[in-house]
Amino acid sequence: MDESSASARMNQYEKGKHTPDISTLKAIADELGVPLSYFFCEDEISAELVVNLNKLSQTDKQKVLDMTAQLIDESSDDSSSKAC
């Protein structure tokens, strides 16, 4: 695809006139250096987390997963103790 038609197509995506298919979205993500899931984040913090997670090794991703599970457990424990 030549640059002028790519620019017009991107403009239509940005304006919501057209929606890219998954393979096009994956190509855009690859070009931008972000994971495909980046485009499905509902807020900036989630998007930043997805980008950062994508840069980690599998081992470090597991550590982050474990840490978030621990935070959730602690948060629910705090909520339960306050309700009593």
Model pLDDT, residue 83? 56
State which amino acid sits at residue 31: E
In whole angstroms, what is the distance from residue 61 CA to residue 69 CA? 12
20 contact partners, CB below 8 Å, separation of at least 6: 13, 28
| pTM for the model | 0.69
Kindly report the CATH class assigned to 3-75. Answer: mainly alpha
Ramachandran category for residue 48: left, alpha or beta (phi over 0 → left; psi -120 to 50 → alpha): alpha
pLDDT at 4 over 80: no
Model pLDDT, residue 11? 75
- Coil, strand or helix: which one is 84? coil
Model pLDDT, residue 14? 75
Q: What is the pLDDT of residues 15-72, one digit of tens each?
A: 877 788 899 999 999 999 999 999 999 999 999 999 999 999 999 999 999 999 999 9
Return the higher-pLDDT residue of 83 and 81.
Answer: 81
In whole angstroms, what is the distance from residue 40 CA to residue 46 CA? 9
